[in-house]
Amino acid sequence: MASHARFTFDLDLGKRPSAAAVSPRAGMAEDLVARLVAEAREEGYAEGFAAGAQNAAAMAAQTIAAAAATLATRSAEMAAALDDATANSRREAVELAASIGRKLALQLLAREPTAELEGLIAECMANLEGVPHLVIRCHPDIADGVRDIATAHMTTSGFSGRLIVMGDPEQRLGDGRLEWVDGGLVRDLDSISTDIDRRIAAYLEGGHPQISHEEPHS
């Protein structure tokens, strides 16, 4: 009877690796996983931190831009309000000064009604040499005083013509007209006041015209 051949293997199935032999490999795998997880967490934290910082910077930039725009608007409003306040203060000061000036002028005119006409007569007679006559029209209440003033100036000026002083009811106290052959001068307080008001209005409008001390004559 033929005998069966025995199969032999290099691996002895009767000998199995113990748990102690497998555990080091399992431990190494767990360490690797833990390290990878930690690295992933760190990368995620870094990316999240960077994104948060970028978002915070953008929000801060928007906040600063909005604050700057608000500041610019309020600064413009404050500047406009300051300009308005300055203009109002200037207007009130000029109007007050003009009002005080008018009151002082009226008081001076009431105290010395011939003072303004005397200056006009002196200026006129100094340039009337050779003129045949001079007619002065003024308020009747001051006609005699004006005549005396004009007569006194004739002795110190070059005028040697005929002097005529006429009381004219149409002339206001302080007003007067000087007339000669080819010319004349007029002092009209209403015209002077109108010219002053025009200059004040131009000044307040920003033109700031040169204030002239020369009084208007016509």
Residues 129 and 58 in one domain: no
Domain assignment present for 118: yes
Domain assignment present for 22: no
Confidence of residue 147 (pLDDT cuts 50, 70, 90): very high
Confidence of residue 177 (pLDDT cuts 50, 70, 90): very high
Strand partners, 184: 179
Residues 120 and 154 in one domain: yes
Residues 100 and 119 in one domain: no
Q: Are 185 and 178 in contact (CB under 8 A)?
A: yes
Q: pLDDT digit string (tens) for 50-99?
A: 777 777 777 878 888 888 888 888 888 888 888 888 878 888 888 888 78
Domain assignment present for 8: no
Average pLDDT, the chain: 78
Domain assignment present for 213: no
Please tell me the total count of domains within the chain.
Answer: 2
Domain assignment present for 194: no
Domain final residue, candidates 93, 111, 129: 111
Residues 138 and 150 in one domain: yes
Range of 61's domain?
27-111
Q: What angle do CA 79, 82, 87 make, to 5 degrees?
A: 125
Domain assignment present for 205: no
What strands lie across the sheet with 133-138, from one edge to the other? 162-167, 133-138, 176-180, 183-187
Statement: residue 142 has pLDDT above 80? yes
Percent of the chain with pLDDT over 70: 81
Residues 95 and 167 in one domain: no
CATH number at residue 125: 3.30.2320
Q: pLDDT digit string (tens) for 126-141?
A: 888 888 999 999 999 9
Q: From CA 207, how far away is CA 199, in angstroms rounded? A: 9
Residues 128 and 89 in one domain: no
Domain assignment present for 5: no
Residues 93 and 32 in one domain: yes
Measured between its terminal Cα atoms, the distance across the chain in Å is 169
Residues 97 and 146 in one domain: no
DSSP string of 177-191, one letter each residue: EEEETTEEEEE-HHH
Query: What pLDDT, on the 0 to 100 scale, is given for residue 107?
Result: 77
Domain final residue, candidates 85, 111, 137: 111
